[in-house]
């Protein structure tokens, strides 16, 4: 990014989601599931969507790593969690502090040029939206996987019943 290219349009455009939105229709979610296979498929789709959102997150972190944003003393980093997902976090350059307060502190600096303030605002909005999307996808993935295990268990109980069909209590 050259100085005359700054500030770039940092809005997450619909084109950034073009490949994702086709696979992410919720109409397939609100239906009766016929068995564990459909839930396993839902798990796989959400896992793939998580990877795509993580790529968008990586793009945001890369933008923050370019001058003049990289000269501000904070970074936007990808943080992997113990639960196996990724979130965007603000960190100081020396990694001594982390979180939205790092961003807020910089935004309150009266010497911060307006164009950088605007760019940081847009990056924060993108970070919030991407973290929300990642959180929802990860939760949906965990729930779908859990339900597929429960359905597999229910199918096993059915197979082990005396007639192979539902039994009365």
A 10 A CB-CB count for 16 gives 15
**Which pTM does this prediction carry?**
0.80
Q: Does residue 111 sit within a domain? A: yes
**What is the chain's length?**
169
Q: What is the pLDDT of residue 28?
A: 65
Q: Does residue 19 sit within a domain? A: no
Confidence of residue 23 (pLDDT cuts 50, 70, 90): low
Q: Does residue 167 sit within a domain? A: no
Q: Does residue 116 sit within a domain? A: yes
pLDDT tens digits, 104-158: 999 999 999 999 999 999 999 999 999 999 999 999 999 999 998 999 898 899 9
Q: Does residue 20 sit within a domain? A: no
CA separation for the pair 44, 23 (Å, rounded): 11
Q: Does residue 22 sit within a domain? A: no
Range of the domain at 44: 37-160
Whether the per-residue pLDDT at 24 is higher than 90: the answer is: no
Tell me which of 15 and 147 has the higher pLDDT: 147
C-alpha angle 14-15-19 in degrees, rounded to nearest 5:
105
CA distances in angstroms from 18 to 13, 14, 48, 134, 160, listed in the order given: 9, 6, 14, 17, 46
Structural domain count of the chain: 1
pLDDT over 70, % of the chain = 79
Q: Does residue 168 sit within a domain? A: no
Q: Does residue 15 sit within a domain? A: no
């Amino acid at each position: 990014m050259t100085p005359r290219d700054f500030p770039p349009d940092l809005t997450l455009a619909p084109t950034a989601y073009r490949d994702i939105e086709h696979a992410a229709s919720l109409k397939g979610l609100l239906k009766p599931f016929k068995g564990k296979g459909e839930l396993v498929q839902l798990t796989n789709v959400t896992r793939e969507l998580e990877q795509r959102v993580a790529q968008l997150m990586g793009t945001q972190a890369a933008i923050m790593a370019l001058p003049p944003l990289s000269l501000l003393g904070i970074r936007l980093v990808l943080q992997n969690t113990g639960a196996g997902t990724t979130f965007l976090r603000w960190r100081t350059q020396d990694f001594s502090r982390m979180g939205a307060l790092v961003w807020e502190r910089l935004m309150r600096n009266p010497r911060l040029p307006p164009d950088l303030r605007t760019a940081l605002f847009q990056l924060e909005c993108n970070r919030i939206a991407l973290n929300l999307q990642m959180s929802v996808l990860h939760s949906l993935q965990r729930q779908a996987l859990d339900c597929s295990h429960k359905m597999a268990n229910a199918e096993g109980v059915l197979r082990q019943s005396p007639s192979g069909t539902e039994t009365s209590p």
